[in-house]
Structure 1
Amino acid sequence: MQPKLTGLDHLVLTVGNLDATIAFYRDGLGMQAEAFTSMDGTVRWALKFGAQKINLHVVGAEFEPKARCATPGSADLCFLSDVAISDWQAHLAVLGIPVEEGPVRRTGAMAPILSLYLRDPDGNLVEVSNPIMS
């Protein structure tokens, strides 16, 4: 029998400035910042939304083991939302967060999506998307 995966527990972003990253994802995208104590007793930070979690590693002080080339700005992330893209555009404009591209239609994992592209403080590409119901 071929083993199969069932889901994604968390992913890790390597960041240059922890406070700027937390502010962007908390205020801009509505994620919850949470400090947690890891198994070795160190205090770390994560961003939570829905049933998902993004652990944050500060460049130069990454938690081991880490990616071979842990680099701020190397991620390309797509997040789904039930909030209309037009509402996202208005929200991001109020915060002064520029939209790099969109709204544009894309192919999502489960269905077509309508997306906005922006960048976080490290330059990671962040896509905010609505599923397009057929």
Structure 2
Amino acid sequence: MALIDHLDHLVLTCVDPDATKHFYTEVLQMQLETFRGDRIAFRFGNQKINLHVRGREFEPKAHLPAPGALDLCFIASVPLDQVIAHLHACGWPIVEGPVERTGATQKIRSVYVRDPDLNLIEISELID
């Protein structure tokens, strides 16, 4: 039995919280959540992304929190062609894809975009 079961949340450090909120709630359609008064998170499925603003991070924090340092892969809840159409409708550029990749449990088909801090965001569908 493995020690770790699943990811609960991760922390993203941003420069412009309004641009980041727009991307994660409008483009990626995650649910905005406020907790502990002024903390912001983006919820999807059973996970969430907590938001820190550079220079105003909450303690404890990563040793070197930096905007643009993440490379994340999300599995879409809809077919990838719908994701692509949604990205086009939002005017959000795809930087690569669709391409076939190897996911954590099986092959995936992915497109890549960048969030406002230039984090690399891979959006994928599972394939056989």
The TM-score bracket by the shorter chain reads over 0.9
**Aligned 8 A contact 2:23 2:116 in 1:** yes
Amino acid in the other structure paired with 1:117: Y
Superposed displacement of residue 82, structure 1: 3.0
In structure 2, the partner of 1:23 is 22
Structure label with greater radius of gyration: 1
Identity, in percent, stands at 52
In structure 2, the partner of 1:77 is 72
C-alpha distance in structure 2 between counterparts of 1:22 and 1:64, whole Å: 21
For residue 57 of structure 1, give the secondary structure of its aligned residue in structure 2: strand
C-alpha distance in structure 1 between counterparts of 2:84 and 2:14, whole Å: 25
Equivalences, count: 128
In structure 1, the partner of 2:47 is 52
Which of 105, 113, 116 is matched with 2:100 structurally?
105
CA RMSD of aligned residues (A): 1.2
C-alpha distance in structure 2 between counterparts of 1:13 and 1:58, whole Å: 8
| Cα pair distance change 1:3/1:94, threshold 3 Å | closer
**Aligned 8 A contact 2:33 2:41 in 1:** yes
Q: Deviations over 1:23-72 (max 9, x none)?
A: 101110110011110xxxx5200000010110000000000111111000
Amino acid in the other structure paired with 1:29: L
For residue 104 of structure 2, give the secondary structure of its aligned residue in structure 1: coil
Q: Structure 2 stretches of 5 or more lacking a match?
A: none
Structure 1 stretches (4+) deviating beyond 3 angstroms? none
For residue 30 of structure 1, give the secondary structure of its aligned residue in structure 2: coil
C-alpha distance in structure 2 between counterparts of 1:12 and 1:100, whole Å: 23
Q: Structure 1 stretches of 5 or more lacking a match?
A: none
Superposed displacement of residue 21, structure 1: 0.5
In structure 1, the partner of 2:34 is 35
Q: Deviations over 1:88-127 (max 9, x none)?
A: 1111111110000000000000000000000000000000
